[in-house]
Structure 1
Amino acid sequence: MASGADVKVEFDPKNMLFRRLGPSGLRVPVFSLGGWLTLGGTVIGDPVKDIIKTAFDNGINMFDTAEAYAKGKSEVEMGRVIKELGLRRTDLVVTTKLFWGLRSGPNDGGLSRKHIIEGTKECLERLGLDYVDVIFAHRPDVSVPMEEIVRAFNWVIEKGWAFYWATSEWSAYDIEEAQHIATKLGLHGPIAEQCQHNMFHRERPEKEYRPLYKKYQLGTTVFSALASGLLTGKYNAGIPEGTRFSTHANFFKGTVDSLQKEEGLTKIRKVNELSVLAEQELGCTITHLALAWVAKNPNTSTVILGASKPEQVLDNLKALDVIPKLTPEIMDKIEAILENQPAALPTFGRPALDPNGRL
């Protein structure tokens, strides 16, 4: 990281939009950059620098990684590039995640106080940073008392190793329990949830978490907004070489196999219909439409982009121009194609409330 005379690049937000991360005062870009499956994995060395520099030069100042990404190499590459580019630390929002660890010892993973504290220290060492802005619990740990988890993340915050803590792929029940304990003890609760959210994956982010958005102003840092590339249309006629489904064939085997079944074929049909809508009514690609659709959700704090080359970052950011085009009429047309909007909670016959009053 750089400060003062060591800063080589001044941050220019360009036309990026910024939102608060959940209930916190931390402002994050609507589109951020993540390292899952790419940075430190399939992409190493100078290409990592090219991708991060392109993102930073175009208004992205939030970078997300995890201890488990490329077995720690994602953090190493990201930290190296931040230093080599001479980026000012205060210009950046850097987030990482804990759970799986890098070794197989009984305390080298999970969310015990031991691993949360030792794991955070190791993350910072790999990143070459004094602190991260947000530390995520990468998965829930049913084997650890929730009070221990909440207290441990608060200890990390008190040490100044992170400013906030958050969750990833936790159930609403788990998040509620963490919030309840934090409130009872006068501690910090999780401010965000890093969840999968896209046009084909909606139940959890749009229905299960619905009470949490209202009660705690929880925000989401969305991953897989393109359904691992399915919502780009590139898998409509097979699995092209060099794509995510090809380079990570074992990881996505179940997804690839499903594309030959009725459910998968239905998704491909919908992708084709959405592509026509995007091109004819919005003048964009389905990629831009899918990203803008997730970003339009008021509970989305940031959409994490994945990229294996700089050109992908630039193309994805065209979604910024599509967000204001998603009028109620366009959104209705999208829903008519998707036919998967989560059902509203039952009212058991009670009449609707006046929408102009407090709901």
Structure 2
Amino acid sequence: MEFRHLGRSGLMVSEISYGNWITHGSQVEEDAAKACVHAALDEGITTFDTADVYAGTKAEEVLGRALKGVRRESVEIFTKVYWPTGKGPNDRGLSRKHIMESIHGSLRRLQTDYVDLYQAHRFDYETPLEETLRAFDDLVRQGKVLYVGVSEWTADQIAQALKIADEMGFDRLVSNQPQYSMLWRVIEAEVVPLCQKEGVGQIVWSPIAQGVLTGKYLPGQPPPPSSRATDPSGSGFISRFLENQELLARVQDLKPIASDLGLSMAQLAVAWVLQNPNVSSAIIGASRPEQVRDNVKASGVRLSDDVMRAIDEVIGEFAERDPAKTQSPPKRP
């Protein structure tokens, strides 16, 4: 396993991190979830990403139990705040009240005194940005959070936050967590250039495009049983790819490229995102330990310019590049 700085910070993270969106607390049993976490540790992964909203807070609980007994200083635990975790009007968003209450809930569920990175899971249009950033800064001062970041913010939103932090003396954002893959490249036009300039690293999710880039979804055929496409909690994200039969056919054309490199399709997909110098870590998910062991082999892989061009020739116009597609909702849920 190789390691990278998280943005311009001094924090080192494994360039492949383990995330438990969908899987822990919902898609797989806890024993299987723990087996995946320990497979990740065995393979050198030290960075673990979750969120309070995953599986209705259960994912944090499962991760906390899975990491129990592991030397705390040896791992980096990331979580997020924004989406509803209760029925009340203040059980959501990025208000000071919700942030302060949410971090305490996350720490309790994760069985830790602090998280290495606390991320705003989306941009909150109904809370002053200064309020959010001051609350984050207070948590850093209290030692409950070491670094702060965001997830799926636009370039303008990230720029606003950095300007306010500089003006008010708050801790700056060190990371953004966007969707990024061969098929979903919306961050390349605006987010990446800004973040490279400002020292903000990308922790990318879905580098395998919810499994599409493994090649297991075949054109004209139903999804495999128990796949991501059949899980209601994740099928909405994958449907945009599965509806395009020509895209699925093009993905099959990546197989010879992967084979020539001695890589699986998943390894090629993960290695591809890691070629971007602004990417600090690529998040993988898994329902079985062998998936973890397969994906981590992408660490340290260097793809030549010729290989990168060959991939672009295959994917071509099917890669989504419109920055307006950033996953940021118009208002708080």
Same topology, TM > 0.5: yes
Residue 329 of structure 1 is matched in structure 2 by 306
Runs of 4+ off more than 4 Å: 340-343
Alpha-carbon distance between aligned partners in 1 of 2:233 and 2:130, rounded to the nearest angstrom? 37
Cα displacement string for residues 205-234 of structure 1 (whole angstroms, at most 9, x for unaligned residues): 211213322321210111011110111111
What amino acid maps onto 1:327 in structure 2?
S
Alpha-carbon distance between aligned partners in 2 of 1:46 and 1:250, rounded to the nearest angstrom? 20
Residue 97 of structure 1 is matched in structure 2 by 80
Alpha-carbon distance between aligned partners in 2 of 1:174 and 1:95, rounded to the nearest angstrom? 21
What amino acid maps onto 1:34 in structure 2?
G
**Residue 313 (str. 1) matches residue 297 (str. 2):** no
| TM value normalised by structure 1 | 0.85
Shift of 1:167: 0.2
**Aligned residue runs from structure 1 range 5-84, under 5 A:** 16-83=1-68
Change (3 A) 1:138 1:250: closer
Alpha-carbon distance between aligned partners in 1 of 2:138 and 2:132, rounded to the nearest angstrom? 10
Shift of 1:242: 1.1
Shift of 1:249: 3.6
Shift of 1:266: 2.2
Question: 8 Å contact 1:22–1:220 — kept in the other structure?
Answer: yes
Change (3 A) 1:122 1:116: same
Find 1:284's aligned residue among 263, 272, 293: 263
Question: 8 Å contact 1:134–1:162 — kept in the other structure?
Answer: yes
Cα displacement string for residues 119-171 of structure 1 (whole angstroms, at most 9, x for unaligned residues): 11111011111000000000100001111111110011111111011000111
**Residue 223 (str. 1) matches residue 212 (str. 2):** no
Residue 269 of structure 1 is matched in structure 2 by 249
Kindly, what percent of the aligned residue pairs are identical?
Answer: 41
Shift of 1:255: 4.0
| Residue-pair matches, total | 319
**Residue 243 (str. 1) matches residue 227 (str. 2):** yes
Where 2:224 maps in the other structure, the secondary structure is: coil
Shift of 1:339: 1.6
Residue 111 of structure 2 is matched in structure 1 by 128
Shift of 1:254: 7.1
Alpha-carbon distance between aligned partners in 2 of 1:139 and 1:250, rounded to the nearest angstrom? 18
Which one has more relative contact order, counting CA pairs under 8 Å at least 6 apart?
Answer: 2
Question: 8 Å contact 1:44–1:77 — kept in the other structure?
Answer: no
Where 1:339 maps in the other structure, the secondary structure is: helix
Alpha-carbon distance between aligned partners in 1 of 2:184 and 2:240, rounded to the nearest angstrom? 18
Where 2:189 maps in the other structure, the secondary structure is: helix
Residue 326 of structure 2 is matched in structure 1 by none
> Mean alpha-carbon deviation: is it higher for 310-319 or for 334-343?
334-343
Unaligned 5+ residue runs, structure 2?
322-333
Find 2:277's aligned residue among 290, 298, 316: 298
Residue 324 of structure 2 is matched in structure 1 by none
Shift of 1:253: 4.7
Question: 8 Å contact 2:251–2:315 — kept in the other structure?
Answer: no
Alpha-carbon distance between aligned partners in 2 of 1:228 and 1:212, rounded to the nearest angstrom? 26
Alpha-carbon distance between aligned partners in 2 of 1:186 and 1:115, rounded to the nearest angstrom? 22
